[in-house]
Amino acid sequence: MNESDNQLIEAATAARVRSLAPFSNFMVGAALQTKAGKVFTGCNVESASYGLTVCAERVAIWKALSEGERDFTNLVIVADTETLTPPCGTCRQIIWEFAKHATIVLANLHGQKEEVLIEDLLPRAFDARFLKEASRS
């Protein structure tokens, strides 16, 4: 891990504090870096209807995409847990589709961190290539 990772961990940790998690109290922050070095942060936002809750990873990705960014190098996810918390299944899918080449760093408030790849978190992922195959049938 390098100095850039530490800066992204700080950014994700700061984003985590802005979480709106009144039901679970499970606060998560994310920081997504573009190839040009721009950083987009996100925090989880809960709804009383849990199905409408949005995770920190997706907030950061949506913010970046909505600003026209498409090339991502790093994604840091920070939670206050004893064991490092990986992204949920929905976030894994979104990371696969929009930030597949980003290095993912899981971190917590206790100084633990681990680098992972989306291929390891989501083996045999579904993506647009399957839709293209179906349209040829």
Predicted confidence at residue 129, as pLDDT, reads 86
Dump pLDDT digits (tens) for 75-113. 999 999 999 999 999 999 999 999 999 999 999 999 999
What φ, ψ does residue 95 adopt, rounded to 5°?
A: -60, -45
CATH architecture group of domain 3-135: 3-Layer(aba) Sandwich (3.40)
Query: pLDDT (tens digit, 9 = 90+) per residue, 37-86?
Result: 999 999 999 999 989 999 999 999 999 999 999 999 999 999 999 999 99
C-alpha closest to that of 31 among 103, 122, 120: 103
Say what the pLDDT of residue 135 is: 74
- pTM of the predicted protein model: 0.93
- On the 0-12 / 13-18 / 19+ scale of CB atoms within 10 A, 62 is middle
Q: What is the CA radius of gyration of the chain?
A: 15
Say how many residues make up the chain: 137
Q: Which residue has the higher pLDDT, 133 or 79?
A: 79
Q: DSSP E strands: which ranges in the chain?
A: 28-34, 39-43, 72-79, 103-108, 113-116
Q: Which pLDDT score, from 0 to 100, does residue 113 have?
A: 97
Domain boundaries, the chain: 3-135
Q: Are 105 and 8 within 8 A, CB to CB?
A: yes
- Catalytic residue annotation: 57
